[in-house]
Structure 1
Amino acid sequence: SVTGLILNALLLYAIRRFSGANLGSYKYLLTIFSLVDLFLIVLHVTVQPMWYKKQNISTFPKIIDQNLFEKVTTMYVGFQSVPFTLLSIHFLYRYWSVRRPHLIPLFSNKSFVVFLASLTVGELFSWHFLCLYTSSGHDASNATAAVVAKYESIYGKHIENAWIVMDNWPDGTFDVTLFTITVLMDVIMLTNLVVASSFAILTFMHIRQSYKTAARASELQQKLLLALCAQAAIPCLFVYTPFLFCINAPFVGIPGAWIPDISAPLMSFFPAWDAAIILLLFTDYR
């Protein structure tokens, strides 16, 4: 966490001090991303999340302080979606910069910025309410009791509040509600991945095929896109992979209790590596 704070603070300084004219308004997107990373670091330290998996039971990260309740936990999970929405916006910017440069001024248009912000906040609250709904409409008290007892046996603390429990097969029966929530979460994550990947592929293709792009400008666009792809790989590895496994594995009975154990540390690595990738790959900041 300390490393993440230092690297993101250094990145903010580098963006402000060393960004060349060639980056244009893209530096503002980098600034937003870095600020979000700083917020996620503080949130992670405050929440101290933990995943738990037992057979067909899984939990979302709980909050260590039992005075904070499950709505706060669901908001924490919701905030993990923000970097992925921003990545899609970044790839859209890169695509427009080479294919539709006349649309780039939209990123300075208040109405368009509000629209993009609405998409980001909308996805955040979609995750929030989906997580919140996992604990309504059915009794998960037995599963919660098992989680509480397991946590207490390991850490010596009895914490009942703030767990988001998904008992996928209560008493061996199929839970339609949790199945629907699982599918919707997968759709949201995969939609972001498909959108970002599509813009990346289209941008690569246009850079390679366009005869109008000067060699130097083409090289710059490719470097920026490669840096963004590397930046995108970090949350995919440290956030998407743990989420996809922890949400889906218990439902289909896939073993591997050690993955939830390392999920929280993996998620805490993301903001630091995100800043490190930008500092290392963007020539202006090296």
Structure 2
Amino acid sequence: MPFNKPQSFLHYVRYAQLVAQLGFFSTAFFCFILVFLTMFGVKRNFGSYKYLLILFPMVGIFFASIELIFYPNVYSNNAGYILFSTSRPFNMSQYAVTWFIGLYAGVYSSTISMLSVQFLYRYWAVFDETKLRFFKGWRFLIWIAYSIYFGFQWGFGVYYFDKIDDYAKNYLRLEMMQKYSTDFSEIAGVALVAYDKDGNIRWFNICCTLNMTAIMLVQYSIIIYCAIWMYIEMDEKVQMLSLSLRNLHKQFFKTLILQIVTPTITLFSPVMLIIYLPLLDLECDLPTGIFLSAVTLYPAMDAIIVMYIVSDYKKAAKTMLKKALDRASAWLNTVETDQSSTRTRSTATNRSAALNRS
């Protein structure tokens, strides 16, 4: 459904900014708690998985921070879309902001890549524990490099293949002026138009879509493959483990199941809608940036899922909260005792002074 009034689009821009702010503060809060509990609260040894539980939330906070600073927005019109920002934080140039938009897209790819690494770790932990050696010591850097590589491939693809050319400017200029009251000279960003005026595919732009599709296909295939086999054979494989480890694996499996459903809704679906909509060349006029802003909520949701399902986190949180309340109570009692002693001494002094005057 087209939104023909400029104020409608400006409302959606404000909504997108509010979602971005909500995403940042919720992500920062819950991810910090998850990292803190992982490092100082949980007593169980998770092995190398501990580093993934720390690294993933930190990437999420970084992603949400970029969203909060630059407020990237998306506008989809017929066979094209534009990912842009009118923000100029720290007096950055238009070129610098465009570069950060590419970085923002790249961090998104690193996020979904790191999610697939978590699934791979849990799969090997159950079915082929010897391969966990690839997560120990310096080999853990392999998975960091893996996530950075796909982040670079996605970000560079967006920056290079979706550079705003004259055809994209002419295709989107009038709509951008009418809907957002802004001109291309005022914005930094990237744009894609799937077809030229004769209906031919603009392959240079479409290479960006193909690149993103390939990356998502790789990561989602790993996630689905690991999840399906863990679902089919986990009960049989964990029977040989101790009861404690068996429960832990089942808890992490439940976590990973929710980590399929949640990113499918918040990470994959919004981006797929944005990048494939132009290929249909429908008569659409949509402020799709509101969907992109919801992506920032995922790291917070992921942290909540882990802390809710894995019992070690609930126990650690309760223990640390109890200690904090006990310390606060002890401090309040100390303050009340000091105040009472002060009042007693003051009363005694006043009585002594009164008796002396008598």
TM-score by length of 2: 0.72
SS at 2:105 equivalent: helix
* Contact 1:19–1:285 under 8 Å retained in 2: yes
Q: Name whichever structure is richer in helix by fraction.
A: 2
- Whose Rg is larger? 2
**How large is the RMSD of aligned CA atoms in angstroms?**
2.4
Please give the alpha-carbon distance, in whole angstroms, between the structure 1 residues aligned to 2:113 and 2:196: 34
Instruction: For 1:9, give the aligned amino acid.
Output: F
Q: CA deviation at 1:39?
A: 0.9
Identify the match of residue 58 of structure 1 among 50, 58, 81. Answer: 81
SS at 2:153 equivalent: helix
Partner of 1:161: 187
Identify the match of residue 85 of structure 1 among 97, 113, 116. Answer: 113
SS at 1:140 equivalent: helix
Partner of 1:32: 55
Please give the alpha-carbon distance, in whole angstroms, between the structure 2 residues aligned to 1:63 and 1:232: 34
Partner of 2:303: 275
* Contact 2:102–2:155 under 8 Å retained in 1: yes
Aligned sequence identity (%)? 20
Please give the alpha-carbon distance, in whole angstroms, between the structure 2 residues aligned to 1:191 and 1:79: 16
Q: Classify 1:136/1:165 alpha carbon distance in 2 versus 1 (closer, same or farther; 3 Å).
A: closer
Q: Classify 1:138/1:192 alpha carbon distance in 2 versus 1 (closer, same or farther; 3 Å).
A: farther
Partner of 2:124: 96
Instruction: For 1:6, give the aligned amino acid.
Output: F
Partner of 2:38: 15
Instruction: For 2:235, give the aligned amino acid.
Output: R
Please give the alpha-carbon distance, in whole angstroms, between the structure 2 residues aligned to 1:39 and 1:261: 19
* Contact 2:75–2:286 under 8 Å retained in 1: no
Please give the alpha-carbon distance, in whole angstroms, between the structure 2 residues aligned to 1:129 and 1:46: 21
- Would you say 1:173 and 2:196 are equivalent positions? no
Instruction: For 1:104, give the aligned amino acid.
Output: L
SS at 2:53 equivalent: helix
Q: CA deviation at 1:64?
A: 2.2
Q: CA deviation at 1:25?
A: 2.6
Q: CA deviation at 1:104?
A: 1.9
* Contact 2:255–2:305 under 8 Å retained in 1: yes
SS at 2:246 equivalent: helix
Please give the alpha-carbon distance, in whole angstroms, between the structure 2 residues aligned to 1:120 and 1:166: 25
Q: CA deviation at 1:192?
A: 0.5
Residues 108-158 of structure 1: CA deviation (Å, up to 9, x unaligned)? 231x223222221111111122112222787422135235414532xx687
Task: Write out aligned runs for 1:142-221 (5 A).
Answer: 142-146=170-174, 148-153=176-181, 160-174=186-200, 175-210=202-237, 211-221=239-249
* Contact 2:44–2:312 under 8 Å retained in 1: no
Instruction: For 2:193, give the aligned amino acid.
Output: D
- For structure 1, the residue ranges without an aligned partner over 5 or more in a row are none
- Would you say 1:6 and 2:33 are equivalent positions? no
Q: Classify 1:234/1:181 alpha carbon distance in 2 versus 1 (closer, same or farther; 3 Å).
A: same
Q: CA deviation at 1:173?
A: 2.7
Q: More displaced, 14-23 or 52-61?
A: 14-23
Residues 192-211 of structure 1: CA deviation (Å, up to 9, x unaligned)? 10111111222233322335
SS at 2:173 equivalent: helix
- Would you say 1:128 and 2:155 are equivalent positions? yes
Residues 161-189 of structure 1: CA deviation (Å, up to 9, x unaligned)? 32211111221432122233212211211
Partner of 1:284: 312
Q: CA deviation at 1:249?
A: 0.7
* Contact 2:164–2:191 under 8 Å retained in 1: no
- Would you say 1:76 and 2:99 are equivalent positions? no
- For structure 2, the residue ranges without an aligned partner over 5 or more in a row are 1-23, 315-358
Q: CA deviation at 1:28?
A: 1.5
Please give the alpha-carbon distance, in whole angstroms, between the structure 1 residues aligned to 2:82 and 2:162: 10
Q: More displaced, 166-175 or 140-149?
A: 140-149
Q: Classify 1:144/1:257 alpha carbon distance in 2 versus 1 (closer, same or farther; 3 Å).
A: closer
Q: Classify 1:236/1:150 alpha carbon distance in 2 versus 1 (closer, same or farther; 3 Å).
A: farther
Identify the match of residue 263 of structure 2 among 213, 222, 235. Answer: 235
SS at 1:135 equivalent: coil
Q: Classify 1:58/1:222 alpha carbon distance in 2 versus 1 (closer, same or farther; 3 Å).
A: same
SS at 1:60 equivalent: strand
* Contact 2:84–2:187 under 8 Å retained in 1: no
Please give the alpha-carbon distance, in whole angstroms, between the structure 2 residues aligned to 1:254 and 1:225: 40
* Contact 1:143–1:165 under 8 Å retained in 2: no
Q: Classify 1:37/1:5 alpha carbon distance in 2 versus 1 (closer, same or farther; 3 Å).
A: same
TM-score by length of 1: 0.88
